[in-house]
Amino acid sequence: MIEITIYGRGGQGGVTLAKLIAAAWFAKGKYTQAFGVYAAERSGAPIQAYVRIDDAEITNHNQIREPDHVIVLDPTLIGPGILTGLKRDGAIILNTPRATAELAAMFAGHTVWTIDATSIAVENGLGTRAVPIVNTTMMGAVARSSGLTFDEVTATFDDLGFGSANLVAAKEAFETSSSAVVPGGLRESRPEPGTTPAVSLLDPNTGAPPQIRTGSWATRRPERRTLTPPCNSSCPAGNDVQRFVQAASRAAYDEALAVLLETSPLPGICGRVCPAPCMAACNRNEFDEGVNVRELERFVSDHGEWPNPVLQAVHERIAVVGSGPAGLSAAYQLAKLGYHVSLFEAGDQLGGVLRNGIPEYRLPREVLDRELGFILMHGVTAYTDARIDRAALRELTRHYSAVFVATGLQESRSLDLGESREAVRQGIDFLEGVHRGEENVSGMRVVVVGGGNTAIDAARSARRLGASDVHILYRRSRAEMPAIAEEIEAAIEEGIVLDELALPVHTSSEGKTVALTCVRMVLGDPDPSGRRQPVRATGPAAEFVVRCDRVILALGQSADISILPEGNEIHENGKVVGVTGAPVFIGGDLGKSEGTVAAAIGSGRRAALHIHCTLTGHDLIDRDEAQVATADLIRTRTFPHAARTRGGTISHELREHTFAEVHTGLTDAAVEAQRCFSCGVCNSCDRCLTYCPEGVLTTDGDTYTFNFDFCKGCGVCAAECPRGVILMSQI
Ligand code: FAD
């Protein structure tokens, strides 16, 4: 058997040359085989092609390790590497303008044939000046060296459909190729015993591919970019979710906590009560399950070390009214910017809904106190029992450089249910009473009306206080309930009955019992919010009576704007977003009423930055609208599937009688954090470095640099980047 290895570059036609040789010998009655092996399928990359010729059928399909002869299509590939595995007296056929004798010295002991195939191909218009196709020209030299006649070459070209320019070039090569040492045809030869088989053109010392300057023919080059991960873009608090999760993936929990504290002083709270839009937006949902960001935030805030605040030099005084998450967030950010903040709270304790609304079984008060303490340590002075009305607000504007008002939603929506008024409580008052230990519903049948978080919290609290029977009546269906879905699920698990499509209209007394008359509803057309409108059902079963001892109304709340200076409000989409004539800013639920803790935190932070910008002209507001790293940019095949890690929960017995925290959190965060794809943000996985065929990428650990003198623009780095950070652009 005769085995030939062809060394070339993508685009030069090496595999076709292998076919031509095989076809020529096949026509002479031999068994032949031709195939190529690519380093990467692209123009300019080193490739190898192989030919086998034998009298018997060829059953070996392996790559050729010990060729009888080698053919080199590109002058830049000529070097000692092509001798690897070449049999002792094997012929070498080179495309080079250099003299045969000169090269014979390098390849002592071998027959060396040379032909300037590049010039011949260019003269004959084969390929382009930048990438000439030299295969047919080289066929002329191969034929001459192996004893094929030119008629046999012509017949082969005809068979394979090659045109006249190819034949002219081949003929010129056939006639002008020269050889040194021992001219001769293709012969079988035996390998020297003990020689090592050939592998590639890689540098035998470094293992690196040969450094070949790119020239001017590359058409594309890689560019690194940073995209916005969907978790970051959907976080209402403005957290850098990806960065904190990546730190957690290295078990660097102090660092992860520091990242969270840049934007939010309440990570332990959000890690417990946030509806986590980041988890809904996570690209991993398309693959298996989104990363459990909420539990990671909780873990980091419970296990990371809280830093000691660095007190800033105080330059001006700012007043904040309301100590819910919006007021707390603004106070924290303003203090970090070097303002002295006075925080005015109408209640006797700080925290707003976090203290008076959300029950302890979801948010233990020690977590709230830890985070409040951290905020106050930044030099915030808090005043409780300090209700601010319109006159007091005017006063504040005289003594402070600016005022931020975040008084939340204070007006509860009601429903006139007639007679049994004393049995009807507002949900928010009930929850505050629970917090103060003043509510007693033991043994009572409780009906909660509403579908939001207040309704679910009131129902689950009543259950824990020993209510014998708890029903939630909601006028739409479960799918339309604004409460956090997991909370609805938990309420049902705890034995609370959800009666959908039911609207209470009237109460009457039956002794100590309240008879609550309800109307059955059906869903009609969607309202402007997209939720389907409930409309009254008709027919005999449309009205029914529920008997109970206590009715809790949780129908939502609205803002009390009587605190704001009259007549000079600024409106946006029908909502008040500020006032003129005084440096007063508003935020949290009072402003846009997005209704989540995270949104209130984000609103407080943005207000702080606006205040700082107004007072100093220094604009720190992030207005970048970076492109979001969508799921289609993530190469999911590079990640293993892994189920989401979930935290534990306490037993149902404990849930029935105590306000102990239901969720116990993760026991380890790094494993869950490692599920993060780090969408659109380089996390130094170094796949680009590993896969770059030219070795033109270097890094100092942080910065990655492409050497464009040698980069061929193959795009392997971009194709291998799992997170869409590398983009190929046209030069
Ligand atoms: P608030 O938290 O309402 O704080 C306003 C503060 O201002 C209060 O402390 C109030 O006493 C004070 N104040 C009012 N008037 C004055 C005045 N004139 N002078 C001085 N101080 C005044 N969101 C979630 O993300 N996850 C949840 O699980 C969740 N559960 C909830 C459960 C309940 C029962 C409720 C009611 C809401 C829940 N929310 C939840 C929504 C979230 O709590 C609110 O969106 C958020 O608290 C709004 O923050 P805020 O700072 O604007 O207002």
Sequence-distant (≥ 6) Cβ neighbours of residue 261 within 8 angstroms = 267, 306, 307
354, 597, 606, best to mutate for ligand 1 pocket (most atoms within 8 Å of CB): 597
The rounded distance, in Å, linking the Cα atoms of 322 and 192 is 89
Q: What pairing do the DSSP bridges indicate for beta strands 316-321 and 402-405? A: parallel
pLDDT less than 70: residues of the chain: 38-44, 101, 104-105, 179-211, 419-420, 566-572, 576-582, 593
CB atoms within 10 A of CB 458: 31
The Cα 219–Cα 543 span in angstroms is: 74
> What kind and span of H or E run contains 470?
strand 469-473
Confidence at residue 582, expressed as pLDDT on a 0 to 100 scale: 53
421, 524 Cβ separation under 8 angstroms: no
Query: Which structure tokens are listed for 705?
Result: 């640099």
As a whole number of angstroms, the distance between CA 260 and CA 227 comes to: 19
Neighbours of 248 (CB within 10 A): 29
Structural Rg of the chain based on CA atoms: 39
Smallest CA separation from ligand 1 atom 39, residue: 596
Residue 639 CA to residue 468 CA, distance in Å, equals 50
Which residue's structure tokens are 């020269």? 178
Q: Where are the beta strands (DSSP E) in 537-632?
A: 543-548, 550-553, 557-558, 569-572, 575-579, 584-586
Position 90 scores a pLDDT of: 85
**CA 659 to chain CA centroid, nearest Å:** 36
Is the minimum distance from the CB of 482 to ligand 1 under 6 angstroms?
no
Whether the Cβ atoms of residue 47 and residue 714 lie closer than 8 Å to each other:
no
Token couple for 23: 């076809």
CB-ligand 1 contact for 547 (6 Å cutoff): no
399/379 Cα distance (integer angstroms) = 18
**Sign of CA pseudo-dihedral 461, 463, 466, 470:** positive
Mutate to test the pocket of ligand 1, among 239, 353, 411 (most ligand atoms within 8 A of CB): 353
With a 6 Å cutoff on the Cβ, whether 321 touches ligand 1 is yes
Query: In angstroms, what is the span from residue 607 Cα to ligand 1's centroid?
Result: 17
Q: In angstroms, what CA-CA distances link 579 with 274, 325, 394, 400?
A: 30, 21, 12, 16
Amino acid at 400: Y
Token pair belonging to 75: 């002058």
> What is the number of the ligand 1 atom nearest to the C-alpha of 593?
45
CB 295 within 8 A of CB 271: yes
Start-to-end C-alpha separation, the chain: 47
Instruction: Please state the atom number of ligand 1 nearest to the C-alpha of residue 603.
Output: 52
Question: Tokens 């959000």 sit at which residue?
Answer: 270
Q: Establish whether residue 455 lines the binding site of ligand 1, counting it when its CB lies within 6 angstroms of any ligand atom.
A: no
Per residue in 9-40, is it b (16+ CB within 10 Å) or e — as a string? bbbbbbbbbbbbbbbbbbeeebbbbbbbeebb
Q: Which two tokens stand for residue 399?
A: 């003594």
d(CA 300, CA 632) in angstroms, rounded, equals 30
Distance, in Å, from the CA atom of 716 to the CA atom of 281, rounded to the nearest integer, reads 29
Residue 622: per-residue pLDDT:
80
Q: Find the 437 Cα to ligand 1 centroid distance in Å.
A: 20
- Listed residue (670, 627, 682, 626) closest to 645, CA to CA: 670
Q: Which of 234, 269, 407 to mutate to test the pocket of ligand 1 (most atoms within 8 A of CB)?
A: 407
Position 192 scores a pLDDT of 45
Ligand 1 in contact with 404 (CB < 6 A)?
A: no
Give the 3-state secondary structure of residue 604: helix
179-191 per-position pLDDT tens digit: 654 343 333 333 3
356 CB near ligand 1 (under 6 Å): no
Q: Is 480 in the pocket of ligand 1 (CB under 6 A)?
A: no
